[in-house]
Structure 1
Amino acid sequence: MVLQCYLQEISLYKDIVSAKKIKSIFFGGGTPSLASPKMFASILEFTNSIGIIDNHTEITIEANPGSSETMKFIEFARAGINRVSIGVQSFDDKALRFLGRKHNASAAKKSIEHADKAFKNYSFDMIYALPWHTEENWAEELNSALEYAKYHISLYQLTIEKGTKFFKDYTLKKFHLPQEELAADLYSITNNILAKNNFKQYEISNYARNPFYCQHNLVYWQYNNYLGIGPGAHGRISINGEKFATVNVHMPEKWIELASKKQFPYQSKELLTADDQTKEKLIMGLRLVDGILFDEFKNDETLQSRINKMTVENLLKIKNGRVSATKRGLLVLNSIINLLF
């Protein structure tokens, strides 16, 4: 039933996908790797009957370290998946306990070893700027982690979001985050270490050895179209020259009900105005080290003026017709976005 619903929803986009080359497919949103490899093979086969999947299509699955998932990597590869993104987060057991992860450092290392045998491209993520991190111990931890990184790595500083256990513990002062100056130093150290190991920073938190940049995430950051398939999935689609933001219903039961009836399982479908699109382009594009074309905003004098002011403040820079964040600007990117709008 679930597989059929996925195929039904994909078929609803036939007019958009038909005969078009598909750049990337990303199986994410939780723990898709717990599902059967046969299901992914069926989805890919059906998608290829509508659009065009070729040897250049990046097909990623998200996975967590753990024997039940990583032992299926070979089967996922046989099903047509050619890249895995593993939620490692740390190779330190103390950090994993703090982050509330169920796996340990040994399982994380084994998952990467399995990925290396199954795929010619894999990535994993790590969280840093933890309460006990110093310049020295983070540098040591990162250098050790890079022994397992061949193609791509994502590195995120710990952030505290309302409604989480972290937020509750943080407000109760059960732990403290590094001060702003130390957090900036940790980010600088991270960039320097990655550069020395031939990883290019192409986005605020993502690094890759050429040519292994994550094509799927580049679709987001370059503000291209993408379909959101499945419960709670988000999409950006263009129809007859208009761009829409789509959000699917979150409850799986409701999604199954609508998809099985061959109805779009939308929670919302919003027409994006020109101003909406400008804002989204800038929010996404400034995450990229290479930035975004300045001409995208040639009709918005107010926005151009604000961008020019930030170049004077060394937060943004304009080079070769592109506007991007400076090293200083990348550290305060959210604040820059708020000031621009």
Structure 2
Amino acid sequence: MSAFGVYVHWPFCKAKCPYCDFNSHVRHEEVDTNSFAAALATELRMMRQRTPGRTVSSIFFGGGTPSLMPPAAVAHVLDTIAALWPVAPDAEITLEANPTSVEAENFRGYRTAGVNRVSVGVQSLDETDLKALGRQHTPEEALAAFRLAAKIFPRVSFDMIYARPGQSLPAWRAELARALTEQQGHMSLYQLTIEPETRFADLHAAGKLTIPEDDLAADLYDLTQEMTAAAGLPSYEISNHAKAGDESRHNLLYWRYGEYAGVGPGAHSRLAEGSNRIALIAEKHPETWRALVTAQGHGIVSEEIVAAEAQAREMLLMGLRITEGIDLAAHARLSNRPIAPEKIAALSELGLVTQEKTRLRATEAGRRILNAVIAELAD
């Protein structure tokens, strides 16, 4: 892949959402943002040494809550990246934002720093559900922040969670219809899942939290596909919908099994070094990560060569999520053996995959049970 992305992790949040299993941390004292921005720059310099000859095609600020970063810190990181690598003139530079009024005030500063795409975590347009999700904004604040972002940034994403506790099909239909009148070309619509070691997991295990049963969840998913497609935003990935040309290029890099350098607490990287693909993982705890960066120039705590078989499985896991699917020849080069034709034929007979020349795609039915499809192909 010629595409090369940089992921920047900002781990701090105002509060920990009960469904979230990302590497996010709440600090009740003021965060020294300057020292963390400086540590990100230091780790970027190490990554540059390992990635000569690359041109950055996309940059993504994730978290945590990157919209808690001061614009000056974002500018420092982006200036560092531009000084280390060539950056494509049309590079996509995304920042995830929570739609509180205070953070929205920083939008103009982020745009001046170079951010050209914002992903706004609206999550719900139902006030009761927002509170249950641990969000600190109202639907009106979310819409105001999104509209402001749409005025400032060339590209914006409207992000929501559905299949929430107690959510009905008619309620989601009305909520999604309202969201579709606001969107500006891209929506990320994720089904709520119960992740281990979260507050929701504890409540679910205790029988105090119930999410929609499988049949209702499937109906909610189907309704989502139907309504977004009718509005001109067909799915290009299981949970992502866009008008042609508005797809998230950085996320497509992941799904196409491209190369990326991740910096910050808990960040992951996949780097090509010679014939090897290297997996790097940084220390999760923010202050410990910062101390490691100060001591050794990076916060990496795990580094390993990804075996060919594991690479092939990762390509399946990522590539079959998107409508374009995977190139079977590329997969065979990674795994050193092609997927058995009889497996593809059996899944095709069931209407779960389609093959056109060397391209393998999961059908809409296949993407609904993608884990099972991948298990059959990878076995």
TM-score tier by shorter-chain length is over 0.9
Contact 1:228 1:234 in 2 (8 A): yes
**Secondary structure in structure 2 of the residue aligned to 1:57:** strand
Is 2:369 aligned against 1:332?
yes
Is 2:256 aligned against 1:222?
yes
**Secondary structure in structure 2 of the residue aligned to 1:91:** coil
Contact 1:70 1:111 in 2 (8 A): yes
Contact 2:329 2:338 in 1 (8 A): no
The equivalent position to 2:320 in structure 1, one of 286, 298, 308, is 286
Partner of 1:88: 122
**Secondary structure in structure 2 of the residue aligned to 1:243:** strand
Instruction: Tell me the distance in 1 between the aligned counterparts of 2:340 and 2:193.
Output: 29
Contact 1:86 1:124 in 2 (8 A): yes
Q: 1:222 to 1:302 in 2, by over 3 A?
A: closer
Contact 1:18 1:50 in 2 (8 A): no
**Secondary structure in structure 1 of the residue aligned to 2:102:** helix
Partner of 2:349: 312
Q: 1:166 to 1:256 in 2, by over 3 A?
A: closer
The equivalent position to 2:102 in structure 1, one of 68, 85, 94, is 68
Across the aligned residues of Structure 1 and Structure 2, the Cα RMSD in angstroms comes to: 1.8
Deviation at 1:190, TM superposition (A): 0.9
Letter of the 1:314 counterpart: G
1:243-322 correspondence runs (5 A): 243-298=277-332, 299-301=336-338, 303-322=340-359
Deviation at 1:254, TM superposition (A): 2.7
The equivalent position to 2:63 in structure 1, one of 24, 29, 34, is 29
**Secondary structure in structure 1 of the residue aligned to 2:260:** coil
**Secondary structure in structure 2 of the residue aligned to 1:182:** helix
Instruction: Tell me the distance in 2 between the aligned counterparts of 1:225 and 1:301.
Output: 23
Q: Which has the higher contact order (CA 8 A, sep 6+)?
A: 2
Aligned length: 341
Deviation at 1:270, TM superposition (A): 1.0
Letter of the 1:328 counterpart: A
Instruction: Tell me the distance in 1 between the aligned counterparts of 2:108 and 2:344.
Output: 48
**Secondary structure in structure 1 of the residue aligned to 2:87:** coil
Is 2:272 aligned against 1:238?
yes
When normalised by structure 2's length, the TM-score is 0.85
Contact 2:315 2:331 in 1 (8 A): no
The equivalent position to 2:156 in structure 1, one of 102, 122, 130, is 122
Q: 1:297 to 1:5 in 2, by over 3 A?
A: closer
Is 2:168 aligned against 1:134?
yes
Letter of the 1:321 counterpart: T
When normalised by structure 1's length, the TM-score is 0.94
Q: Which has the higher strand share?
A: 2
